[in-house]
């Protein structure tokens, strides 16, 4: 979906100012390569937070909080 928006915007930029459009076309792969470490860092932080959440909620899960034992039967 992003590509469907990016292509017409790039074409518009090419019509308005073609040197900037070509510069964006050349620099985009390098910017993507620079963003990889930040994406990896985000995945690691999300995994650590999910682990801490699971660890903090473990006693409640063991004791059975949050489970509905008296759920009404569906007809």
Q: Is-contact 21 14, C-beta < 8 A? A: yes
Q: Which residue has the tokens 């995945």?
A: 43
Q: Which residue has the tokens 């100012």?
A: 17
pLDDT (tens place) for every residue of the chain, 75 residues total: 788 998 999 999 999 998 999 999 999 999 999 999 999 999 999 999 999 999 999 988 888 876 666 666 665
How far is 67 from 56, CA to CA, in rounded Å? 17
């Amino acid at each position: 979906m992003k590509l469907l928006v990016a292509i017409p915007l790039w074409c518009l930029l090419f019509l308005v100012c073609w040197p900037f459009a070509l510069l964006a076309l050349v620099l985009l792969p390098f910017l993507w390569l620079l963003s990889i470490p930040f994406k990896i860092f985000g995945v690691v932080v999300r995994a650590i937070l999910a682990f801490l959440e699971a660890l903090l909620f473990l006693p409640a899960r063991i004791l059975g909080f949050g489970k509905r034992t008296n759920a009404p039967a569906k007809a």
